Amino acid sequence: DAKTTQPNSMESNEEEPVHLPCNHSTISGTDYIHWYRQLPSQGPEYVIHGLTSNVNNRMASLAIAEDRKSSTLILHRATLRDAAVYYCILSRDPSNQFYFGTGTSLTVIP
């Protein structure tokens, strides 16, 4: 099975950048790397995804190691609304099923 490993928790000061790491040493060549976040009483919500190259969108950036065995989600300026559990996920063909990690609980300090 595909597996991702994340720190259980991290803290960040408001308006500071946050780097959330993920290890996925068992990644296969066609597995995509996804990041989702989850607020209490809600389902996981899409943040960003990529395959090999670094990716940017309005929410975050995704830095993928050259060997693809690790990645980092970057929130450029943390806000209080970014406090959530962040999941690093691999998706695998043919069904595109998601393999979730245990998630990192991000606390943003005002």
Partner 1 sequence: EAGVTQFPSHSVIEKGQTVTLRCDPISGHDNLYWYRRVMGKEIKFLLHFVKESKQDESGMPNNRFLAERTGGTYSTLKVQPAELEDSGVYFCASSQVIPSNEQFFGPGTRLTVL
Applying CB under 8 A, the residues found at the interface with partner 1 are 32, 34, 36, 41-46, 49, 87, 91, 94-103
Closer residue to partner 1, CB minimum distance, 46 or 107:
46
Report in angstroms how near the CB of residue 81 gets to partner 1 at its nearest: 18
Report in angstroms how near the CB of residue 47 gets to partner 1 at its nearest: 10
Report in angstroms how near the CB of residue 58 gets to partner 1 at its nearest: 15
Closer residue to partner 1, CB minimum distance, 75 or 87:
87
DSSP string, 31-90: -EEEEEEE-TTS--EEEEEESSS-EE-SS-EEEE-TTSSEEEEEESS--GGG-EEEEEEE
In sign, the C-alpha dihedral spanning 14, 7, 39, 99 is: positive
